[in-house]
Chains A and B, each alone.
Chain A
């Protein structure tokens, strides 16, 4: 009991220390940290015990993310590719749609999984929705086996970074729709690798806080993916705000090219 209490408290301490500026590495905030955080840092630099507790909790958090992204090799071996992917996605509280099916398989609110998907274990998976899950680079091991994937929703994944985007080239022949909306770690450097996805028809890149020069990126991405509708990088409104009405036509001309 006491150990559990200590554990939760330790986790709070670690989150206080580490969560301060998790994804804002580009901004150099010089504002002083809150008092509680400063006190804990003060103690952290002075007591070895506190230092090791905090380091352990940080390691545990990292281990937990790795655990959630483990490769479902056993399931794949015994039930096949589609079943393994579905099981992985459902345990991430995501959704899966099989080829030729209308309905999505999703886990319910309490994380209970509907095991009926085992009836479709030989049917290829066409659409995957893992939005808001702790998916990261190693978690993609589970998804890259899908050769027939048409739609992938990765929106709101906090651990999805540029390294992950560089792995999406495996879907280059099939993927038609991709959503990266609201991924805090995705930057323009990762978006540049999407040129592999030649069949992409719809790309959602709205609300990406780490992308700088959004207007320029929008133009360059439209150049890179000419057959794709890019949603979320709306440069025309930005241009309209800054410049005169007659230059507002400029984006349309560029798009025509």
Chain B
């Protein structure tokens, strides 16, 4: 009886639209069971098996009737569901974190139907997995520090939050080795000021003079260092892939849907209005997200009520699709989302007598950074290029000239042992770079009211992902920030021209 009903709904899905509609409206669980294998439903094993049986049958039918391409069964597993409450564009760590927190905060089981759309299931170009994976509290804006402190708490108790029963405990391989920021004489006062802000937010940061520094890290050249700040607790680096997978696994087990595909466009409800001063204003609400299946022209319109733009470096493009920034300049409708992809290189090198077990993630006063990678004398390093030397973003090729000419001299000056190093490899990844003030953009857009942003992190999105996910979920489900007020990162600041400038950008 059960299977027959499911079979019916399965085959009718594309041919009998009235039935399809009624199924969706009444939210019959059996309807959803078959269509999307991603959902970890009760009795999922049986129906997943059934799905496979269907595919086998489909194949057999095709083989036995080779002349015709017609088939009574259309396989639609690869398409997105037809409707969802909240569509999250971008399945990076931010997207999955938002999905997890939405499910975590829902009051009743399946209260919200969340769909995560990810373009590349292999995550080959995703910023999350190509990052260096650092977490630090050494920021200059209190909100950033508090977000990072919450993230540290979350990562510390990750098994209480993201643990799935009957699976291995999560190990994000956290290295609590701290960040060491160096400052020359010009920036020493600024560093001291930042540390005062960090301490007022109860971050554990120590200030070290050149002598203390030399005593603690004998391998360091402290010639032009006036002051250094060293994070003692909750700072270090971890494995981004484990965190992404933990979020993803937990969110899927809580009933989030995922689909692979590109967001091809949006359909809107449009409302024209006139302000009191007589200017026309167009309000839009996204009605439908068109999700294109990978490697094909087939797409599925997904009806939804809220869209979260967590597409990282490509969120500017997603916003453009939602007509943000297409209006006349100098009006609210004409302001683009100032997020661009920027390519950053990470190099791996080997140095047999480099810094040992106590090596922190060192950030030089020139902007170059390095950290230990494992125990075998390997290190990874990088540097943000000058603004006029930004590399081409069309591919992720690594420019080793940049290491030879820019990065190496700075590292060798700081750590003399690095004069004899050997480059072993490298990779490149994209920053979701906020050209306005290098900080996150969180919250909805005033004109496209149901699009929420969680983007523009400019390199510290991974470490802030747990806090950002919680904040966006609060914004969506509670209507305002409940635990941590992140109002300074709203979109309005771009319209008002108020920069939330972060002085500690790496």
**When chains A and B are docked, how far (Å) is the Cα of A8 from the Cα of B199?**
46
**When chains A and B are docked, how far (Å) is the Cα of A24 from the Cα of B167?**
11
Any A CB within 8 A of the CB of B165: yes
The answer, among A17, A47, A191, for a CB contact under 8 Å with B165, is: A17
**When chains A and B are docked, how far (Å) is the Cα of A224 from the Cα of B175?**
16
Distance (whole angstroms) from the CB of A223 to the closest CB of chain B: 5
The answer to whether A44 and B357 touch across the interface, beta carbons within 8 angstroms, is no
The answer to whether A26 and B156 touch across the interface, beta carbons within 8 angstroms, is no
Mark out the residues of chain A between 1 and 40 whose CB falls within 8 Å of any chain B CB in the assembled complex.
Answer: 17-18, 20-26, 28, 37
The answer, among B42, B44, B45, B176, for a CB contact under 8 Å with A48, is: B42
Any A CB within 8 A of the CB of B375: yes
The answer to whether B174 and A163 touch across the interface, beta carbons within 8 angstroms, is yes
**When chains A and B are docked, how far (Å) is the Cα of A45 from the Cα of B39?**
12
Chain B residue contacts of A68, Cβ below 8 A = none
The answer to whether B176 and A163 touch across the interface, beta carbons within 8 angstroms, is yes
The answer to whether A45 and B42 touch across the interface, beta carbons within 8 angstroms, is yes
Mark out the residues of chain A between 188 and 211 whose CB falls within 8 Å of any chain B CB in the assembled complex.
Answer: 188-193, 195-196
Any A CB within 8 A of the CB of B421: no
The answer to whether B165 and A216 touch across the interface, beta carbons within 8 angstroms, is no
- Answer whether A224 and B233 are a contact pair too, CB < 8 Å, given A163-B156, A166-B176: no
**When chains A and B are docked, how far (Å) is the Cα of A191 from the Cα of B357?**
9
The answer to whether A193 and B165 touch across the interface, beta carbons within 8 angstroms, is no
- Answer whether A192 and B357 are a contact pair too, CB < 8 Å, given A162-B174, A163-B176, A166-B233: yes
**When chains A and B are docked, how far (Å) is the Cα of A61 from the Cα of B304?**
39
Interface band, chain B: 20 to 34
Mark out the residues of chain B between 159 and 196 whose CB falls within 8 Å of any chain A CB in the assembled complex.
Answer: 160, 163, 165-166, 168-171, 173-178
Any B CB within 8 A of the CB of A165: yes
The answer to whether B165 and A58 touch across the interface, beta carbons within 8 angstroms, is yes
Any A CB within 8 A of the CB of B356: yes
Any B CB within 8 A of the CB of A123: no
The answer to whether B42 and A167 touch across the interface, beta carbons within 8 angstroms, is no
Chain B residue contacts of A22, Cβ below 8 A = 169
Name A14's closest neighbour in chain B (CB-CB): B165
Any A CB within 8 A of the CB of B358: yes
Any A CB within 8 A of the CB of B475: no
Mark out the residues of chain B between 5 and 42 whose CB falls within 8 Å of any chain A CB in the assembled complex.
Answer: 42
The answer to whether B356 and A220 touch across the interface, beta carbons within 8 angstroms, is yes
The answer, among A25, A37, A166, A217, for a CB contact under 8 Å with B169, is: A25
**When chains A and B are docked, how far (Å) is the Cα of A188 from the Cα of B166?**
27
- Answer whether A44 and B165 are a contact pair too, CB < 8 Å, given A169-B232, A189-B173, A192-B177: yes
Chain A residue contacts of B168, Cβ below 8 A = 21, 24-25, 28
Distance (whole angstroms) from the CB of B167 to the closest CB of chain A: 9
The answer, among B170, B175, B216, B232, for a CB contact under 8 Å with A192, is: B175
Chain B residue contacts of A24, Cβ below 8 A = 168
Any B CB within 8 A of the CB of A55: yes
Chain A residue contacts of B357, Cβ below 8 A = 191-192, 195, 217, 220-221, 223-224
Any A CB within 8 A of the CB of B68: no
**When chains A and B are docked, how far (Å) is the Cα of A165 from the Cα of B236?**
13
- Answer whether A18 and B165 are a contact pair too, CB < 8 Å, given A167-B233, A193-B176: yes
The answer, among A18, A58, A189, for a CB contact under 8 Å with B175, is: A189
The answer to whether A224 and B356 touch across the interface, beta carbons within 8 angstroms, is yes
Name B358's closest neighbour in chain A (CB-CB): A195
The answer, among B42, B174, B175, B358, for a CB contact under 8 Å with A47, is: B42
**When chains A and B are docked, how far (Å) is the Cα of A24 from the Cα of B171?**
10
The answer to whether B358 and A26 touch across the interface, beta carbons within 8 angstroms, is no
Any A CB within 8 A of the CB of B69: no
**When chains A and B are docked, how far (Å) is the Cα of A55 from the Cα of B216?**
46
Name A62's closest neighbour in chain B (CB-CB): B160
Any A CB within 8 A of the CB of B43: yes
Distance (whole angstroms) from the CB of B134 to the closest CB of chain A: 14
Name B204's closest neighbour in chain A (CB-CB): A169
**When chains A and B are docked, how far (Å) is the Cα of A199 from the Cα of B158?**
33
Distance (whole angstroms) from the CB of B408 to the closest CB of chain A: 25
The answer, among B43, B45, B160, B174, for a CB contact under 8 Å with A189, is: B174
Mark out the residues of chain B between 65 and 106 whose CB falls within 8 Å of any chain A CB in the assembled complex.
Answer: none
Distance (whole angstroms) from the CB of A153 to the closest CB of chain B: 21
- Answer whether A44 and B375 are a contact pair too, CB < 8 Å, given A169-B232, A192-B357, A224-B358: no
Q: Which 7 pairs of residues, A with B, have the shortest CB-CB distance?
A: A166-B176, A195-B358, A25-B171, A220-B357, A192-B357, A189-B175, A224-B357
A22-B169, A26-B171, A163-B174 known; 4 new pairs, CB 8 Å cut-off, are A25-B170, A25-B171, A188-B375, A216-B376
B interface list, Cβ under 8 A from A: 42-45, 109, 156, 160, 163, 165-166, 168-171, 173-178, 216, 232-234, 236, 356-358, 375-376
A selection of 24 A-B contacts at a CB cut-off of 8 Å is A17-B166, A20-B166, A21-B168, A24-B168, A25-B170, A25-B171, A26-B171, A45-B43, A137-B156, A162-B174, A162-B175, A166-B234, A166-B236, A167-B233, A169-B233, A189-B176, A190-B176, A192-B176, A193-B176, A193-B177, A216-B375, A217-B375, A220-B375, A223-B356
